[in-house]
Amino acid sequence: MTDTNQPDTNQPDPDQPETNQPETNQPDPDQRAGAEQGLQAGATGQGVTAARGFRAAGVTAGLKTSGKPDVALVVNEGPEAAVAAVFTSNRAQAHPVIWSRQVVGDGVARAVVLNSGGANCFTGPFGFQTTHLTAEAVADSLGIGAGDVVVCSTGLIGVGDQTFRDNVLRGVGLASAALSPTGGHDAATAIMTTDTKPKQSVVTEDGWTVGGMAKGAGMLAPGLATMLVVITTDALLPADELDQALRAATRVTFDRVDSDGCMSTNDTVVLMSSGASGTTPEVGDFQEALTAVCADLAKQLQQDAEGASHDIAIEVVGAASEDDAVVVGRSVARNNLFKAAVFGNDPNWGRVLAAIGTTDADFDPYAVDVSMNGVRVCHAGAPDEPSDSVDLTGRETHVLIDLGVGPHAATILTNDLTHDYVHENSAYSS
């Protein structure tokens, strides 16, 4: 099942919406804590192969000049092949996104092939043909139909020439030969671009498992943040239930990572079920486990953001609605003056108030409280504790904004704006 994420009407740019899905089956904090007890973050040899019924591989095909792994393959060996996916809501979409939307439309997929080292976006009809040929190559190697192969690419926009095609197809052959029930770590490594480490997460419950891998270090903003994510489960669930669970999970996790306000053309999050456990969990239990995996991967994306020296959690409470809490938090997360201040270890709460004042959320700016790392520096729109009592020298930074008008809350994850971020994104070019 698939659809674009629904737009957030408070977004400043129509090409940068957030999913705004119904809040059905959201786990409460106590439920999520239960799932997190079984969480394995970054476990070597786990990730997408932690669940039964899956094999994976990551190989070097020559797409990266560094010679590092650059093609990954994840295969669902069943007995079931249910799938759900969500994609970037950017109007500019890469050929693999266009192809994969069609693939998951019937709720069935057997494999996901991913490459780093080139986005295959804005590469003309030739690029779409490359995506089709890639799916056909996977299908031929596995004895399945090309229409059951999800294709994902990541890297520079505009990269997708004949050399790119040849290398991807070579990688499909190599990956098919290297498939292993313990190949999750290799697959997670092969999808990295500017990432500094592979990102994996696993939750194991009574008789069934959810595991996943993600890539993403820059262009982190909704919808979905900028990433490729593959999540697998051996729970026995139909495609429509996977779709409902995935949308609910991404809404409160990946869609609230807003590191630099820039949205990719290639964002894809795929959830596949093999049914190999033979167990059908309660919807709420599965939602809890899936959300825990997504939240863990989202946090790993934030912590590996390009050049960042602070991981900032902007928690908004006392909002009239959850949407208000999100838009207020996002206004701060995208404020370069605030992000630069945090980089300089300056608790400049005035920049927080200036940022939230640009929104149409329901609150009185002169009744807002702001705390930074546990110190309330602003009370009712006026100075409170001295700013020099706030310690921002550590990496973890918490900003609490109390709007004081309602019972709703939301947290946005972002990073500071650093010299290294500017350098990396000026050097990483075509």
| C-alpha distance from residue 321 to each of 18, 67, 227, 267, 357 (Å) | 16, 49, 28, 27, 17
Rounded to an integer, what distance in angstroms lies between the CA atom of residue 227 and that of residue 256?
Answer: 13
pLDDT of residue 226: 53
Q: What is the pLDDT of residues 335-370, one digit of tens each?
A: 989 998 998 999 999 999 999 999 999 999 999 999
Burial class (CB in 10 A: 0-12, 13-18, 19+), 14: exposed
Which residue among the candidates 189, 209, 226, 253 is catalytic per the annotation?
226
Instruction: Look at the block and give the residue holding tokens 């669970």.
Output: 245
154 is catalytic: no
Which stretches of the chain score pLDDT less than 50? 1-37, 219-225, 429-430
What pTM did the predictor assign? 0.84
Q: What is the pLDDT of residues 108-117, one digit of tens each?
A: 999 999 999 9
| Structural domains for the chain | 29-303 (3.60.70.12), 311-427 (3.10.20.340)
- Number of Cβ atoms within 10 Å of the Cβ of 98: 15
pLDDT of residue 415: 85
Beta bridge partners of 85: 270
- Number of Cβ atoms within 10 Å of the Cβ of 203: 25
Order of strands across the sheet that contains 369-372: 382-383, 375-379, 369-372, 396-402, 311-319, 408-415
Q: Helix (H, G, I), strand (E, B), or coil: what is residue 321?
A: coil
